[in-house]
Amino acid sequence: MQTVVKNHIEKVLDTNIVLEKPKDLSLGHFATPIAFSLAKEYRKSPMIIADELAAKFVDSEMFEKVEAVKGFINFKLSNSFLEEFSKNALSSGENYAKEESKNEKILLEYVSANPTGPLHIGHARGAIQGDALARVGKHLGYDITTEYYVNDAGAQMDLLGLSLALAGQESILNQEVDYPEKYYRGDYLFDIAKDVANDLGTDIFNDNSRHIELALYAKDKILDLIKTDMADLGITFDSYVSEKSLYVNWDETRKVLENNGSLYIKDEKVWIKSSELGDDVDRVVVRDNGIPTYLAGDIIYHKNKYDRGYDRYINIWGADHHGYITRVKAAIKFLGNDPEQLEVLLSQMVQLLKGGEPYKMSKRAGNVILMSDIVEEIGSDALRFIFLTKKSDTHLDFYLDRLKNHDSSNPIFYINYAYARINQVFKKAEKSFDDVKDISYENLNQDALNLVYESLLLPSVLNEAFSKRDMQKITDYLYSLASSVHRFYNEYKIVGSDEEAQYLKVLSLCALTLKSSLNLLGIKAKDTM
């Protein structure tokens, strides 16, 4: 709707404009400050220009009223225009706001947590952000492939095997063990140790030559656990890529870098000249023992990504990877690819508060707050919603107790209650959504029209949220629409009123928007509360 309005105004005025949504809808549904931009060119005051431009819409059927106010031009949409868009939305059903296929392929990588332990709530934020971004992008017509990069090589895998050996010695062989501080700890290792004893025998726990075998066994078990935890949140991936499997391509990748003059040898190590492209210092890609570094693995992986021929690559990384972006983009440039095709979104950590006290997390110490525990306590819908209420690169305090409240302090309850309340109104009226879909909006009051207008903003909200990679715009929109629904319900008699059929049609559109928006966030709207 907003795009149609903007295009129409630009056609009438023969110039590009900025179209805004006034906070006070009594001023109009849209406004533009174009008169201020034209003041210098026209050599007139913005107020005079605005009056002249507003007069050009006197015969427009799209608007009920166009007026100039203090240099702004305000546009109030007509009942017939809103009714037309409302009819299209209601007829589209679950495809509401769905757009035609766009000629853009996107590879979206997120979570990619090391397969050394269960997912904690910090991992959940990037997971939920990535999944919601994929859902919205696909609805808008983008060809999106989701991917999980499995870091199954390097020192952390050695450490996993050694940690599992100690867990087996302690829990299976009843030996006294001393865990070094850096080792992984947690009950999940005791569970895996039981499986090891059944599948591989108990001798492996005391065999120092078999810790890699233990690591690979544990990695597969933990990856299955991660997949299960993700599925409980409604998240699946199109593909999983193993870091270890990519190292066979290191020689080929290294040759490309060498041919581009981006590598050199110093202190028996191989370095990449990342400082030439904005990095603080050059980085080691091959150690003095001949083993490629973690950065080398990421370079191979990003070459693999670009070789697959996507138009854009989006990575969602933890905030601690901020300094890593420049060196990876430098490597992409040295490989002969365009680093501007890579977009990195950072996900800040989350602080979980319960009873006003913060929890401390430490995967290695074994007192991690598991994502699965939080899902079990409050449900996946509440977790998904609260993690999308702030842009992912900002800090989030997560008040667990608040999400159990049955009031407006709990946003997902408040929104679901609006949707359930609409269903209850229809039940009381003994009507279905189909019964009112052809009702006219003629002479509909302004508050009801504003509800229609708010509901029809969904397509523009989705596009802005996706283009800015900010799902908070959707959660804010949902809360605002739910507030409007509750306010309308409290201020107007619906069932049994002269306007019953009109009001029911308006509410059916609100219900469609609420349900569609929640679905795109991976949340199922509740018919009853």
Each residue's pLDDT expressed in tens, for the chain with a length of 529 residues: 999 999 999 999 999 999 999 888 888 999 999 999 999 888 999 999 999 999 999 888 999 999 999 999 999 999 999 999 999 999 999 999 999 999 999 999 999 999 999 998 888 999 999 999 999 999 999 999 999 999 998 889 999 999 999 999 999 999 999 989 889 988 899 999 999 999 999 999 999 999 999 999 999 999 999 999 999 999 999 999 999 999 999 999 999 999 999 999 999 999 999 999 999 999 999 999 999 999 999 999 999 999 999 999 999 998 888 889 999 999 999 999 999 999 999 998 888 887 777 765 544 445 678 888 889 888 999 999 999 999 988 988 888 888 888 888 899 999 999 999 999 999 999 999 999 999 999 999 999 999 999 999 999 999 999 999 999 999 999 999 999 999 999 999 999 999 999 999 999 999 999 999 999 999 999 999 8
3-state secondary structure of 171: helix
- Whole-angstrom Cα distance, residue 327 to residue 346? 16
The CATH number assigned to the domain holding 450 equals: 1.10.730.10
User: Looking at the structure, do residues 420 and 508 belong to the same domain, yes or no?
Assistant: yes
Asked, for residue 444, whether it belongs to a domain, the answer is yes
C-alpha distances out from residue 288 to 72, 280, 293, Å:
67, 22, 10
Total residues belonging to the chain: 529
User: Which burial class, exposed, middle or buried, applies to 423 when counting CB atoms under 10 A from its CB (0-12, 13-18, 19+)?
Assistant: middle
Q: Whole-model pTM?
A: 0.92
- 446 falls within a domain: yes
Look at residue 455 and tell me if it is in a domain. Answer: yes
Write down the residue that tokens 């209650």 correspond to.
417
428, 516: one domain: yes
Burial environment of residue 96 by CB neighbours within 10 A (0 to 12, 13 to 18, 19 or more): buried
Domain end marker among 23, 42, 77: 77
Q: Which pLDDT value is given to residue 364?
A: 42
pLDDT on residue 211: 93
Residue-number span of the structural domain to which 17 is assigned: 2-77
**Total domain count for the chain?**
3
59, 77, 95 — which closes off a domain? 77
